[in-house]
Amino acid sequence: MRHRRHLILAALAALALIALLAAWWTRQGQARRETWDQIQAQGVLRVGMDASYPPFEWVDENGTFHGYDVALAEELARRWGVQVVFVNIHFDGLYDALYTQRVDLLLSALPYDEMLTRDARYSQPYFAAGQVLLVPQADTTTEAPADLRAGRVAVEMGATAHQLARSLDRDRALGWQVLPFRELDEAAAAVASGQADALLCDRVSALALLAAHPLRMAGEPLTDEPFVIAVSPDAPRLLREVDAALADWSADGTLQRLAQEWLMP
């Protein structure tokens, strides 16, 4: 009889444990339900960003967010008929905030990271931030590094472009004279004045320099450094909606308009 009672108690305990696990799993399923549905139900889009990278994102003394990525997030919220809430997070903590559902998506001049594609899903690129060549506006023939053989190429000392210029010169036998400057503005002025034939720099910096100097961007970016939006792996509908918006805005000029507004002072 005692043995039978123990068996009954064990069975009841097992049933209770199963019930608890089922309840927990249900709560987890509800908590991890499609992020898109949560956004629509709550009417709020929570955007994680490290607001310390102007002109893409920064916060003023009143706590107001500004920048290209901020404007892009506001466009998303407007398209979806919801409000946007910005969550300012140090760059190192952005993915943790996404994993723990503190935010719905990450929009923070975020580079595509192949190492994280199992833990996050990335949108199509919305901005190409690779290294580019700037040449004088009067130069209508230079479109690629090969067009600058034996040329004088200005760079910012110690920047990524400095190393890239050396690598291109070595690997392609271009015969470049690489001219390092302490400030990008000085390098751009050297090209504009004829002291250098071209400037190699990242596209973000290039857009600002184009507004201040009589230069043009030659050809396509020399490196592929796309900025993307990241969502949780269990948010396929949200990712589709983001990609649809970016595709529409690439076609109708919205992305170009935002770039001109925020990246080309």
- Residue-wise pLDDT for 138-183, tens only, equals 999 999 999 999 999 999 999 999 999 999 999 999 999 999 999 9
* For residue 213, pLDDT beyond 50: yes
Q: What is the mean pLDDT of the chain?
A: 90
Query: Are residues 65 and 51 in contact, defined by beta-carbon separation less than 8 angstroms?
Result: yes
- Would you place residue 264 in the very low, low, confident or very high pLDDT band (cuts 50, 70, 90)? confident
pLDDT at 26: 44
Under 8 Å between Cβ of 81 and 36: no
What is the token pair recorded at 236? Answer: 């396929």
Q: How far is the C-alpha of 151 from the C-alpha of 168, rounded, in Å? A: 12
The string of pLDDT tens digits covering residues 110-149 is 999 999 988 899 999 999 999 999 999 999 999 999 999 9
Q: Which DSSP string corresponds to 51-119? A: -EETTTEEE-TTS-EESHHHHHHHHHHHHHT-EEEEEE--GGGHHHHHHTTS-SEEEEEEEP-GGGTTT
Cβ neighbours of residue 23 closer than 8 Å, sequence gap 6 or more: none
pLDDT band at 19 (very low <50, low <70, confident <90, very high): very low
Query: Is 7 a residue whose pLDDT tops 50?
Result: no
Task: Give first-to-last CA distance, the chain, whole Å.
Answer: 87
C-alpha–C-alpha distance, residues 195 and 183, integer Å: 15
pTM of the predicted model over 0.85:
no
